[in-house]
Homo-oligomer: A and B are copies of this chain.
Amino acid sequence: MGTLVTRYGAPRVVEAIRARELPPDFTTPETQQDQRPPNLTGRLNAWYARLSAANPAADLDAGEKSGARLIIPGSPEWPSQLDQLGPSRPLGLWLHGTANLRFACLKSVAVVGARAATAYGVHAAAELGVGLSEAGWSVVSGGAFGVDAAAHRGALVADSPTVAVLACGVDVCYPSEHDTLFAAIREQGVVISECPPGVHPTRARFLIRNRLIAALSRGTVVVEAALRSGALNTATHALTLNRHLGAVPGPVTSGMSAGCHKLLRERKAVCITSPEEMIDLVGVIGDDLATQSRAPAVPRDRLNEPTKRVLDAIPARGGAGPASIAVAAGVSLDTTLSALGGLAAAGYIERAANGWRLRKQTASYPKAPDTAVLEPPPVREDLDPTEDPPLPDDDDHPAPAGPAWRTVRA
């Protein structure tokens, strides 16, 4: 049907169906191209039956009555990115809402996922909705429970329009619990469908609808999806259209994240942990760069390598002379002496009766709140090197002059 309309225009195709005879120059080349010639006569009969049952005037009336408008390719509001669907480009779209669909979709991200989303998935979808909307990106999604609704609700919190693509008529509220949500979307965004008013959803319409969600947006992010999920169908459409694809990871113990993990594992999708990272993926190079997630820097990072080694070799209690510190650190005595001077000046270490030791780093402990200034500061117990010192190879924030241990050999 799409190929026919592309080649002859919708009016001539309607005439052909009404006459139950396809243009003769259409049938021949088409059957040559495809190995399996489509059963054109059968399709023509099915279209004829549908055309007989259709009542376009009533549809237009119903649409106008409900407040919806119909756009077709060439309308000022038509999103031209739909042309990339080729023959499966929709013949027209019913719109209901204040937002201009073309402008709303210029910078848009499809947020899709499971209807039976977990609390985690709903949270992630809402965060994406809020973050995208605050950054001036529109959300495109369906109208289902779970991820779809959470993404729209998140987007409605901020100012950007949000686009709900339905698998039923724009005047049909499916699911009916979403009547207030759809009303809010119509207020700030737009509800769209390629079905005429009054049409109810079927299984096939949901799958067909998914191509629109993928085609309208610059990229799709899958929030939660089981291995058998309509969201993965949308993801496939996005990949086919060469759009960006992201997936939000989740616990490996959650079946609702299994589809996302499969996309990540097959390297079809990019790992997305924040709205910024999704904008980085779909955005303009340079303009929409996400800030790199970086580890927090600690004062110790600023020390040079030999000084760090010297610091690590200084005991927390007692004291050690420069010579034994040099042996423990594995650096020369000259380097040790110069490092000791610097560390003492920076407040990391202090002189003890028998050499050098770490300074008690009260400053590295959480500051007492202002209301508690009269209370004594928290007391830090001296670290006993024979007991377990905090492990230095891990992610907790090492104190500027974290505890060090004398080696038995030092």
Contacts and interface: CB of A to CB of B under 8 A. Distances in A.
Interface string A277-302: 10000000000000001111000000
A203 B308 CA distance: 9
A111 interface: no
A169 B407 CA distance: 10
A402 B274 contact: no
What is the copy number of this chain in the assembly?
2
B393 A210 contact: yes
Contacts of A78: none
Interface in A253-283: 253, 256-259, 261-262, 264-265, 267, 270-274, 277
Interface string A315-336: 0000000010011001111110
A129 interface: no
B120 A253 contact: yes
A370 interface: no
Interface in A17-71: 42-43, 45-47, 49-50, 53-54
Contacts of A402: 203
A295 B2 CA distance: 31
A228 interface: yes
Contacts of A408: 169, 198-200
Contacts of A116: 394-396
Interface string A388-407: 11011111111000101111
B277 A228 contact: no
Contact of A407 (B202, B225, B309, B396): B202
A73 interface: no
Nearest to A58: B409
Contacts of A312: 202-204
Interface stretch (A92-100, A174-182, A235-243, A341-349): A174-182
Nearest to A233: B393
Contacts of A199: 407-409
Interface stretch (A102-110, A244-252, A372-380): A244-252
Interface residues of A, number: 100
A313 interface: yes
Contact of A167 (B204, B210, B228, B393): B393
Contacts of A169: 408
A177 B398 CA distance: 21
Interface of A: 42-43, 45-47, 49-50, 53-54, 114-116, 120, 123-124, 142, 144-145, 167, 169, 174-177, 196, 198-204, 206-207, 210, 225-230, 233, 248-253, 256-259, 261-262, 264-265, 267, 270-274, 277, 293-296, 308-309, 312-313, 323, 326-327, 330-335, 385, 387-389, 391-398, 402, 404-410
26 contacts: A46-B331, A47-B330, A50-B327, A53-B410, A54-B409, A116-B395, A116-B396, A120-B251, A167-B393, A175-B388, A200-B406, A201-B391, A202-B313, A202-B392, A203-B308, A203-B398, A206-B391, A206-B392, A210-B393, A228-B397, A229-B395, A230-B395, A233-B393, A249-B261, A262-B293, A265-B271
